[in-house]
Amino acid sequence: MSPDPWIRAYDLLPEMLAVLLTGAVTTVEVTVGGFVLAVLFGLLFAVLQTVPARPARVLAGLYVEVFRGVPVLTQLFVLYFGLAEFGIRLHPLTAAVLGFGLNGGAYLTEVFRAGIGAVHQGQLEAAFMIGMTRLMGLRHVVLPQAIRVVLPPLGNFAVGLLKDTSLASAVAAPELAFRARTLVDQTYLSTQVYLLSAAIYLAMSLPLAHLTRRLEVRMGRGNP
């Protein structure tokens, strides 16, 4: 008679935790890398949307529409499998970080654009009056004020990104969801493994969500 699966899970708990925590570290790496890239892309294309040159605004708008209109999983497949058809083979983690960065940047472009738009136009005009260029005015006058507006949405985006990294398992990135699926194939303890991985996701996302709520309160966007 086979042992009770919960007893087996208890006996295998140290080994399963070691495997899942290794995946959790990779999940954090993908989250941080994707977040940094998304912020950089978001800032770049949000600034391009504010410049007078029409080609720059069209380019920014095209980027937003394309990467917001295509599911992130499809983008991961294109980066990992599609580029390989042209001889460009990305490491699974590289494809995951780049995919989440490009997709997230399209959403953050609109967030940063709204933050820049929340700063009164007179601030930039005053920067011009004292001899600043547009880029200098954006960097030293507008963006520091816009950042305060976009901090809560950035926090919400980070929480969502942490959970969305589970999609990276589809391109063999060895993050938490991938490690959990591998463990299930090896132990046949699907319920126990997925409950444990869910607990690890909660342990990572709840502190981040709490920090986001604190930011919303401090920025006057939540209830104290």
The predicted-structure confidence for 177-191, as pLDDT tens digits, reads as follows 999 999 999 999 999
Residue 17 located in a structural domain: yes
* pLDDT value at residue 1: 44
Most confident of 37-51, 115-129, 130-144: 37-51
Q: How many CB atoms lie within 10 A of CB 132?
A: 16
Do residues 85 and 124 lie in contact, with contact meaning Cβ atoms separated by under 8 Å?
no
Residue 224 located in a structural domain: no
pLDDT tier for residue 132 given thresholds of 50, 70 and 90: confident
Residue 14 located in a structural domain: yes
Residue 145 located in a structural domain: yes
* pLDDT value at residue 108: 96
Residue 223 located in a structural domain: no
Q: Domain holding 68: CATH number?
A: 1.10.3720.10
Lowest mean pLDDT segment, chosen from 64-78, 147-161, 177-191: 147-161
Domain count, the chain: 1
* pLDDT value at residue 220: 60
Instruction: Look up the domain containing 209 and give its range.
Output: 5-218
- Write out the two tokens for 153: 């949405």
* Per-position b or e across 4-38, b if 16+ CB within 10 A of its CB: eeeeebeebeeebeebbeebbebbebbbebbbebb
